[in-house]
Chain A
Amino acid sequence: MTGLLTILILLGITIAIWQMVKIFDLAQVNKDTSQVANDGDNKVQGYLMLAFLGFIYGITIVSFALWGDLPLTSNSASEHGPEIDRLMVISMTVIFIVQTITQFLLHYFAFKYKGEKGRKALFYADNDKLEFIWTVIPVIVLAGLIMYGLFTWTDIMNVDEDDDPLVIELYAQQFNWKARYAGEDNVLGKANVRLINLDNANILGLDEADPNAQDDIITTELHLPVGQPVLFKMRSQDVLHSAYMPHFRAQMNCVPGMITQFAFTPTVTTEEMRLNPDIYEKVKNINKIRVNKSKKLQAKGEEPLDSYEFDYLLLCNKICGKSHYNMQMKIIVESEEDYMAWLQEQKLFKNSLVQN
């Protein structure tokens, strides 16, 4: 149906173009046919430039009005999140101001100085002072943004070992995620893909002889205790993946052959986030959309969609093959007690091996 509609639209457009061409060709008999803009063209195009300025402003306003609440510039769920968000808002404000002014000047000048026969332009080739000013202003603004950005970056990327972070490995493979908790000793056992043994279910290639590995816990869901710093060690067994946790403003590539890392402290539990008014509204809206979709699906005799409940997610954000679009893991942030209770239920590595 959609395909047919698309074809019809394209066909319609083609016919419209063809007709317009004919009209323009017919209209040009007995007229100036030089194909160089004349005063009439300049006037029309000048006004269109002004209209286009309106269009740019319009699409900006409409975008902010309709989709302004989509962006993740608030409701971050990690300690460093608000820092990134603040920097983002400051940068966006600077951009917004510069964009508004420069687009105005560009299109307004295009309108104001539209050509007229007999008028001569101003011969104005240079102005060192002016050029100096608009070199220095970006320098100052950018210097500010660079400083701010670099402090934020260093702050985020420097892992403070004194915080005694909880160590968790994120393990990527086509096309799913695993998490490995370091267990009681908080030290991950040695691992290498060469040690993978599918026969005894050593799927992450842990060194079975390493004492540190014995109490490791491998899971398919990521549970995090709220308020505790977490140091993620990323590993991939096959191709590049990227561990993207948008709500925590966290992302790091998983690279075969090396271990990468990223640390953050979750600050809001999943339950609390579900009750956050913004998120609550967002989920309500999404469910409205899903109900509409479900109606259409049911009309076609297909299964309706489940209703959606908010959860933090870990997504793969580096092209990794056919099912890249569906490589995800649920993240649950919960209280220390709930986290410990959940962890108790999981199998230790030494107990997870299949004995032959």
Chain B
Amino acid sequence: MSAQVDTHAHEDDHGHHPKETFITKYIFCQDHKMIAKQYLITGLIMGVIGVLMSLLMRMQIAWPTEPNVIFEFLLGKWAPGGVMDADIYLALVTIHGTIMVFFVLTAGLSGTFSNLLIPLQIGARDMASGFLNMVSYWLFFLSSVIMVSSFFVEAGPAAAGWTIYPPLSALPMAQGGSGLGMTLWLVSMAIFIASSLLGSLNYIVTVLNLRTKGMSMTRLPLTIWTFFITAVIGVVSFPVLLSAALMLIMDRSLGTSFFLSDIFIQGEVLHYQGGSPVLFEHLFWFLGHPEVYIVILPAMGLVSEVLATNSRKPIFGYRAMIASILAIAFLSTIVWGHHMFISGMNPFLGSVFTFTTLLIAIPSAVKAFNWITTLWKGNLQLNAAMLFSIGFVSTFITGGLTGIILGDSALDINVHDTYFVVAHFHLVMGISALYGLFAGVYHWFPKMFGRMLNKNLGYIHFWVTAVCAYGVFFPMHFIGMAGLPRRYYTNSNFPLFDDTTNVQILITIFALVGGAFQLVFLWNFFYSIFYGKKAEQNPWKSNTLEWTTPVEHMHGNWPGQIPHVHRWSYDYSKPGHDEDFVPQNIPLKEGEEESHH
């Protein structure tokens, strides 16, 4: 009821906005569509930084301690004579991970598309609170600036890995990066978490309260389901990381001993007593594992939508898809211990976490099978977004399957923290989520900017990326199984691994080519914002409500009344209709049955 009152209030409200200035329109804007664009562009900039760091690392690993003018140019004093310093290598590892996981794949992906699509697809004028939404973006922006600025600190940025396990992260004498660099990391993350929480609360409230008439929960597109559940996971788990970060700050500055005990370093005994680093690991992974689902679920939602639209078929097993999203969300909060099998926690706990971890493979498998079946007997429109969605399913399967090995505590003993892990999570959540992001950008670019992306550039971008992604991460499994630990600045101190050097070089070449071809995307993106072909209202012939809004953005999204919804969003190629799509706002024909009930 309240939803309807609210909707009406908005309807009356429409058209009476105060005059906009440049600042209220482009900078401190409260319109969800502009905020989505701000998230996307900030995310892309962070993405460029993050990917560049990974390329620097790859060059160092392939040609260790060889002078490289690129290092000298980009890293300055940390690459004297062009030879990368070991400290900065670990800093690159750390900041690359942090930026990609949080700033690109959490904020850049979920922030962009939750903001863009939630109001548009549920039929709302805007987010429940435009102001909080704006604050959320600017906190994200602030945290991004702080994170990047840590590179300009005298002793270097945080370098304890993105998991910042204490005591390494807690003790400035343990490594240079654990001084001011780590402080900046923690401050940046605390602000980031505040931003994420504000955003998530807004998404939850908006989805629950502002759906248009007829938009029941079981008529929601899967995108909205995934954004909604992602926000719930975020609200449940991010505060735990915040508390861990605050406790770590206290250990660092106020002399508490939450995570530290019995430490002798650089010739002196420290006063800490009674804490445990394992406690930090628990707290970290209680967010850290749900975090990978915070990253992947929105990508799954976008991919489901793009697959259905471009297959001209309903998503297969809509209810099973929702059920598996819920199952994944629930299970994601009780599997964190699989990162800690050999952390020194009780082996019995390891058994429990093995059990819950392998359970999560079941809903994941259901989703993969349902996506494949969605393609079956479709009429596939192989747009760039569709290619990235198919690519998503492919890398999600390849990367997900090795999770069966890593989730098995007995097998984890020997591949834990090796390149095998690097290959696994990059495929299943890194590359897959990036594909989800790209699929989303290619598909909704017309909605965001009113123009089309160049399709041929999209094709080039996809195919080179797809080949390089496999080229980088597939061979990596093998050097991991050979026992090669990750996060080594160079492997040349271990003749044992000399036979992996050629593989490393091959991987680096794939990485450089793949990285370089992202320029195609960036060029296409920025060029098309200004000079792309003007978009039609519904270029992909899609059913969801966002395509009923005018191409030119306006406050309140719809001129006049918000459309009412009469069907789910997947009536593609429904028998009895001439067109192969039936938008959600089209009433049922006489005698027509609603599809999935």
* A is bound by B: yes
Question: Interface 1/0s, chain B 400-421, versus A by CB < 8 A?
Answer: 0110110011110110111000
Residues of A within 8 A of B311 (CB): 113, 121
Q: How far is the CA of A255 from the CA of B276 in the complex (A)?
A: 8
Are B377 and A126 interface neighbours, CB within 8 A? Answer: no
Q: How far is the CA of A125 from the CA of B381 in the complex (A)?
A: 19
Q: How far is the CA of A284 from the CA of B244 in the complex (A)?
A: 49
Are B453 and A35 interface neighbours, CB within 8 A? Answer: yes
Instruction: Report the minimum CB–CB distance from B534 to chain A (whole Å).
Output: 10
Known contacts being A70-B478, A113-B379, is A35 close to B523, with CB within 8 Å?
A: no
Interface stretch of the complex, out of A92-100, A210-218, A339-347: A92-100
Q: Which of B409, B485, B487 contacts A153 (CB 8 A)?
A: B409
Chain A contacts with B in 158-189, Cβ cutoff 8 A:
158, 173-174
Are B456 and A24 interface neighbours, CB within 8 A? Answer: yes
Residues of A within 8 A of B273 (CB): 257
Are B516 and A10 interface neighbours, CB within 8 A? Answer: yes
Residues of B within 8 A of A240 (CB): 165, 167-168, 277
Are B482 and A70 interface neighbours, CB within 8 A? Answer: yes
Residues of B within 8 A of A37 (CB): 381-383, 386, 455
Are B491 and A325 interface neighbours, CB within 8 A? Answer: yes
B278 at the A/B interface (Cβ < 8 Å)? yes
Question: Number of contacting residues on B, CB 8 A?
Answer: 153
Instruction: Report the minimum CB–CB distance from B145 to chain A (whole Å).
Output: 26
In which size bucket is the chain A interface?
A: 35 or more
Residues of A within 8 A of B416 (CB): 242, 244, 251, 317
Are B499 and A286 interface neighbours, CB within 8 A? Answer: yes
Are A3 and B499 interface neighbours, CB within 8 A? Answer: no
Are A105 and B540 interface neighbours, CB within 8 A? Answer: no
Q: Which of B166, B470, B487, B498 contacts A319 (CB 8 A)?
A: B487
B563 at the A/B interface (Cβ < 8 Å)? no
Known contacts being A106-B375, A123-B572, A313-B494, is A238 close to B265, with CB within 8 Å?
A: yes
Residues of A within 8 A of B82 (CB): 3
Q: How far is the CA of A20 from the CA of B496 in the complex (A)?
A: 44
Are A315 and B485 interface neighbours, CB within 8 A? Answer: yes
Q: How far is the CA of A117 from the CA of B570 in the complex (A)?
A: 20
Residues of A within 8 A of B368 (CB): 102
Instruction: Report the minimum CB–CB distance from A355 to chain B (whole Å).
Output: 21
Q: How far is the CA of A107 from the CA of B260 in the complex (A)?
A: 51
Q: How far is the CA of A113 from the CA of B520 in the complex (A)?
A: 28
Q: Which of B383, B404, B414, B580 contacts A95 (CB 8 A)?
A: B404
Residues of A within 8 A of B554 (CB): none
Chain B contacts with A in 374-399, Cβ cutoff 8 A:
375-383, 386-387, 390, 393-394, 397-398
Q: How far is the CA of A45 from the CA of B414 in the complex (A)?
A: 41
Are A242 and B362 interface neighbours, CB within 8 A? Answer: no
Chain B contacts with A in 302-356, Cβ cutoff 8 A:
311-320, 342-344, 347, 350-351, 354-355
Q: How far is the CA of A289 from the CA of B502 in the complex (A)?
A: 10
Q: How far is the CA of A130 from the CA of B401 in the complex (A)?
A: 21
Interface stretch of the complex, out of B220-228, B285-293, B458-466: B458-466
Q: How far is the CA of A218 from the CA of B557 in the complex (A)?
A: 74
Chain A contacts with B in 1-31, Cβ cutoff 8 A:
1-4, 6-7, 9-10, 13-14, 17, 20-21, 24, 28
Are A48 and B463 interface neighbours, CB within 8 A? Answer: yes
Q: How far is the CA of A20 from the CA of B409 in the complex (A)?
A: 49
Q: How far is the CA of A20 from the CA of B379 in the complex (A)?
A: 30
Residues of B within 8 A of A320 (CB): 168
Q: Which of A24, A110, A120, A154 contacts B454 (CB 8 A)?
A: A24
Question: Interface 1/0s, chain B 537-576, versus A by CB < 8 A?
Answer: 0011000000000000000000000000000001011110
Are A257 and B260 interface neighbours, CB within 8 A? Answer: yes
Are A55 and B467 interface neighbours, CB within 8 A? Answer: yes
Residues of B within 8 A of A98 (CB): 397, 401
Known contacts being A59-B470, A71-B481, is A113 close to B375, with CB within 8 Å?
A: yes
Q: How far is the CA of A33 from the CA of B535 in the complex (A)?
A: 11
B95 at the A/B interface (Cβ < 8 Å)? no
Q: How far is the CA of A325 from the CA of B467 in the complex (A)?
A: 30
Chain A contacts with B in 288-321, Cβ cutoff 8 A:
289-290, 293, 305-306, 308, 310, 313, 315-321
Are B596 and A126 interface neighbours, CB within 8 A? Answer: yes
B366 at the A/B interface (Cβ < 8 Å)? yes
Chain B contacts with A in 84-123, Cβ cutoff 8 A:
86-87, 90, 93
Are B457 and A21 interface neighbours, CB within 8 A? Answer: yes
Chain B contacts with A in 63-90, Cβ cutoff 8 A:
63, 66-72, 82, 86-87, 90
Are A193 and B264 interface neighbours, CB within 8 A? Answer: yes
Are B474 and A13 interface neighbours, CB within 8 A? Answer: no
Are A253 and B260 interface neighbours, CB within 8 A? Answer: no
Q: How far is the CA of A63 from the CA of B86 in the complex (A)?
A: 30
Q: Which of A33, A71, A242 contacts B478 (CB 8 A)?
A: A71
Residue from A107, A244, A305 with most neighbouring chain B CB atoms (10 Å): A244
Q: Which residue of B lies closest to A309 (CB)?
A: B495
Instruction: Report the minimum CB–CB distance from B35 to chain A (whole Å).
Output: 26
Chain B contacts with A in 155-194, Cβ cutoff 8 A:
160-161, 165-168, 171, 174-176
Residues of A within 8 A of B381 (CB): 36-37, 42, 115
Residues of B within 8 A of A289 (CB): 498-499, 501-502
Q: Which of A126, A146, A256, A293 contacts B318 (CB 8 A)?
A: A126
Q: How far is the CA of A315 from the CA of B416 in the complex (A)?
A: 13
A329 at the A/B interface (Cβ < 8 Å)? no
Are A122 and B63 interface neighbours, CB within 8 A? Answer: no
A150 at the A/B interface (Cβ < 8 Å)? yes
A350 at the A/B interface (Cβ < 8 Å)? no
Q: Which residue of A lies closest to B70 (CB)?
A: A3
Are B487 and A324 interface neighbours, CB within 8 A? Answer: yes
Residues of B within 8 A of A322 (CB): 86-87, 90, 175-176
Q: Which of B260, B398, B408, B595 contacts A256 (CB 8 A)?
A: B260
Q: Which of A56, A113, A130, A290 contacts B498 (CB 8 A)?
A: A290
Residues of B within 8 A of A242 (CB): 342, 416-417
Are B262 and A324 interface neighbours, CB within 8 A? Answer: no
Residues of B within 8 A of A17 (CB): 460, 516-517, 519-520, 523
Are A59 and B264 interface neighbours, CB within 8 A? Answer: no
Q: Which residue of B lies closest to A118 (CB)?
A: B379
Residues of B within 8 A of A282 (CB): 499
Instruction: Report the minimum CB–CB distance from B146 to chain A (whole Å).
Output: 22
Listed in ascending order, the chain A residues whose CB lies under 8 Å from chain B are 1-4, 6-7, 9-10, 13-14, 17, 20-21, 24, 28, 33-37, 41-42, 45-46, 48-49, 52, 55-56, 59-60, 63, 67-68, 70-73, 83-84, 87-88, 91-92, 94-95, 98-99, 102-103, 105-107, 109-110, 113-116, 119-127, 130-131, 134-135, 138-139, 142, 145-146, 149-150, 152-154, 156-158, 173-174, 192-194, 196, 198, 205, 234, 237-240, 242, 244, 246-247, 249-253, 255-258, 260, 262, 282, 285-286, 289-290, 293, 305-306, 308, 310, 313, 315-326, 328
Q: 6 other contacts beyond A84-B414, A317-B418, with CB at 8 A cut-off?
A: A42-B380, A46-B382, A70-B499, A193-B264, A205-B264, A286-B495
Q: What are 11 A-to-B residue pairs whose CB atoms are below 8 Å? A: A7-B70, A10-B516, A84-B410, A122-B313, A153-B410, A237-B263, A244-B417, A249-B413, A255-B343, A317-B416, A324-B487
- Lowest 5 A-B CB distances belong to which pairs? A257-B261, A71-B481, A246-B483, A3-B68, A45-B382
